[in-house]
Chains A and B, each alone.
Chain A
Amino acid sequence: EAGVVQSPRYKIIEKKQPVAFWCNPISGHNTLYWYLQNLGQGPELLIRYENEEAVDDSQLPKDRFSAERLKGVDSTLKIQPAELGDSAVYLCASSLTGVNTGELFFGEGSRLTVL
């Protein structure tokens, strides 16, 4: 069974440019999460989807970040315009809805460098 797939794995852009990250969760996992991880820190939640509905986006900086999950499967996270401080790893995770086992399945992340 395929795990959570993210792309691109690495992205280098100049500040003020836009960037987008894509995530394909594990088949059957209706809950999808985007986390941000700075170097040497733990992951921080940006947004949580249940199916196509964003049920927790309180930590998403909405002035420059947006996310969508149009058909309740794949998701895209966009930053426009990017700032130097956005350099980080963007992790996508998925889980079964309504099952709280403490287990999220993470992708390998998209590492963003803003110059």
Chain B
Amino acid sequence: GQSLEQPSEVTAVEGAIVQINCTYQTSGFYGLSWYQQHDGGAPTFLSYNALDGLEETGRFSSFLSRSDSYGYLLLQELQMKDSASYFCAVSAYNQGGKLIFGQGTELSVKP
């Protein structure tokens, strides 16, 4: 089976750095993805890690430790527009491109 855990909500101020953690239990783990979703909008892809280490894309970075079944999304220089829900999602071998999503973390950025 597959399960993911991430905090339900996080609050931070503009300009700060925030880290959203994700732990997973997945048979045949292949990779960990992160998605952003604004209220009423489509989930949009942020990053993907298949190997251990840090991937950086602008203000967003994502980290994976396969041995710890753990990853995180790091958001730097927070902006008000970053207020949204963030989902981690796992993919597994022999599952095509299928993703299993966590329950999401609601990020509130305050002025």
Contact = CB atoms under 8 A, between A and B. Distances in A.
B101 A42 contact: yes
A14 interface: no
Interface residues of B, number: 25
A41 B104 contact: yes
B101 A95 contact: no
Interface residue tally on A, bucketed by range: 20 to 34
B104 A42 contact: yes
B30 interface: yes
Contact of B45 (A40, A56, A104): A104
A41 to B, nearest CB: 6
- Looking at chain A's contact residues, is the secondary structure mostly helix, strand, loop, or mixed? loop
B99 interface: yes
A42 B42 contact: no
9 contacts: A33-B98, A41-B103, A41-B104, A42-B104, A91-B42, A91-B43, A104-B45, A108-B42, A109-B42
Interface of A: 3-4, 31, 33, 40-45, 48, 50, 55-56, 91, 95-97, 99-109
Interface of B: 30-33, 40-45, 48, 50, 87, 89, 91, 95-104
Given A40-B103, A40-B104, 15 more contacts: A41-B104, A42-B87, A42-B101, A42-B103, A42-B104, A45-B98, A45-B100, A55-B96, A91-B42, A100-B97, A101-B31, A101-B48, A102-B89, A103-B45, A104-B99
